[in-house]
Each structure stands twice: as C-alpha cells, then as structure tokens.
Amino acid sequence: MFSKGMGVVQVSEDKCGLINTKGQWIIEPNYQSILTFVDAKGETYFNVEKDNVNTLFDAQGKEIFSSPETVFSSEVLFNEGLYMRTGENGLFGFINSTGKWAISPTYLYGSDFSDGVASVSLDEKTRVIIDHKGDVITRFANDIDYVGVFRNGLAPARKNEKYGYINKKGETVIEFKYLDAKEFNGGVAFATDNDADLWQCIDTQGKVVFEITSSFIVPMGHGYIQAHKEDKVGIINAKGEVVLPFIYDLILNIEQEHYVKVKLATEYYYINLTTGTKY
C-alpha cells in the first residue's frame, strides 16, 4: 500500500522495508515491522522494529532515534514540535524532530505536549505542568498523584484513588468520582464510575453524551475509540457510531490518520476507516 510515494514491502515472514515508486529502497528490508505515522504538520515518519528495538526514520530514510519504546499514535508524534521519550538515565524528557533533546530527561513521568503544556512528575509527590521551554507553569496539590494529557483545556487527574478532570490552574472542573478516566479528544472523554464495564462519554461540563458497555476503552486519536465486546474488538467514533464492527481479534495503531491494521482469525490486513476499503 503506497502513501505519499512510499510503500512497505514484505520480503520474508520476518523482514520488511520501505520503497519509493521507482522501486528504490528508502529503508532496507531488515526489520520485522514498519508502522507509518503522519504528524500534525503532515510530515511522515516510520517506526521500524527489530529485536525489540524501535527506530524512527523520517520520510528520507534518515534515522531520528532508537528506543525500546514504540510510537503509539501520530497525534502525539512531535505534537507542538516535541515528543516525549526516555533517556539513557531512565527518566523522561522531550526531543525535537531532529532527535535532539529540547527538554532534558529529568522527569519520573511525563505526558506528551498538548494545549501548549505537558504534565510531568518532578518526584514521587510533585506533579506540575511545563511549557515548551521546560519552565513550570503550575504545581498541583500533593494529593493529586496523576495528571494526564491536557486537551480541550482539561486533563484527567487522580486524587484519593478517584479520577476527575482539572484545568491548567489545577482547579477541579469535573469532580473526582470515577474509577477510571481517559483524556479529552474532540470535546468528549470516556470515564467509568462503576465495576460493570459501563463507560460514559462525557463533554467538558461532565454531561453524559452516551454510554457504552466495554471491558476497556482505548482512545486511538483522530476521533476514533477502540472498544471491546464479547471477546472481540471494534472501533466507534465520538458520537457512539460503530466505525468497525466488533468482529476483530486485534486492532493495532492508526497509521496515516485513517488506516488501521486488524487481525481477523489468522489474517492480518489494513482497513481505511473513512471508506471501509480493505487492503
């Protein structure tokens, strides 16, 4: 499948590479898997994996960095020009699109930049948000032990083993009453306040838009959400409409904004989420 003049070629069961439309290798076929991502600026990147080491290449085949961590979503890849990764010291920091450290790895935990900020942990008890220079904007109360990604002005947070949503000032906007809560995307988020696998899709005021029964909810970016029903997985959108039916055994990351790799029985293939076309 070619995109922007490039396509993944499988030369054996465990080796693949990337070619251009002239048949020239951009990335030699030495890798076990290749995932394609397009960032917010439209730049294309390739995450390749071999022997549990992931390497990120740009569209020219230039290596940016290698890491045990894989890229999970194009929505966070160099979002606002920065990308979170782990340094050799085991701490988190942020690199730019050339692979150089823009904010040194000094944090115990971190989230990717969104809404102009990233939430990080300075130590076991101190959660803050920082700007693109690494300067601290807000320090949160010590009883908040988790702060997620800010989107639509809010981030999920945890206090006294309950989740709620806070703004960038640390003020509670949606009360701490949930057993689990996901980040906002497109004005909605998913949260659950019971053990019955019932998830609520809520707006930024905490009002319920719709409910869905699922053993897990995974926001995939681009307005898509992966859900689980009767040992099968599918994809819904922010309106609760089924985009992919609940028939698949496995759904992998979204690539190039609307392509997703799925497994049905023993077969792997791609589906275009906007057209439903199978590749």
> CA 84, CA 49: separation in Å to the nearest integer?
18
Query: Is residue 258 domain-resident?
Result: no
How confident is residue 69, by pLDDT bands cut at 50, 70 and 90?
A: confident
Q: What does the pLDDT average to over 57-77?
A: 81
Domain-located, residue 194 = no
**Domain, as residue range, for 38:** 1-71
Contact 38, 79 (CB under 8 A): no
pLDDT tens figures, 171-180: 999 999 999 9
Look at residue 115 and tell me if it is in a domain: no
Once rounded to an integer, what is the mean pLDDT over residues 128-151?
Answer: 96
pLDDT of residue 72: 64
The mean per-residue pLDDT over the stretch 124-149 comes to 95
- For residue 270, pLDDT over 70 is answered with yes
Q: Is residue 60 part of a domain?
A: yes
Least confident among 74-78, 103-107, 271-275:
74-78
Averaged over 50-63, what is the pLDDT?
Answer: 89
Task: Please report whether residue 237 resides in a domain.
Answer: no
**pLDDT band at residue 203, thresholds of 50, 70 and 90?**
very high
Query: In whole numbers, what is the pLDDT of the chain averaged over residues?
Result: 90
CA distances from 184 to 96, 101, 165, 188, 197 (A): 24, 28, 10, 5, 19
In this structure, what token pair is assigned to residue 55? 């390497």
Q: What is the rounded distance in angstroms from the CA atom of residue 265 to the CA atom of residue 61?
A: 34
Q: Residue 133 pLDDT > 80, yes or no?
A: yes
Question: What pLDDT shows up at residue 3?
Answer: 60
- Bridge partners of 67? 54
Please name which of 103, 108, 59, 62 lies closest in space to residue 81, comparing C-alpha atoms.
103
Inform me whether the pLDDT recorded for 70 exceeds 80: no
Measured distance CA(184)–CA(205) in Å, rounded: 12
Contact 154, 171 (CB under 8 A): no
- The pLDDT assigned to 170 comes to 95
Sequence-separated (6 or more) residues with CB below 8 Å from residue 259: 1, 3, 36, 270, 271, 272, 273, 279
Q: At 49, which CATH number?
A: 2.40.10
Q: How confident is the model at residue 36 (pLDDT cuts 50, 70, 90)?
A: confident
| Number of domains forming the structure of the chain | 1
Tell me if 79 is assigned to some domain: no
**17 belongs to a structural domain:** yes
Indicate whether 7 belongs to any domain. yes
DSSP state of 79: G
Q: Report whether pLDDT(226) > 90.
A: yes
Q: State how far the Cα of 20 lies from the Cα of 22, in Å rounded to an integer.
A: 5
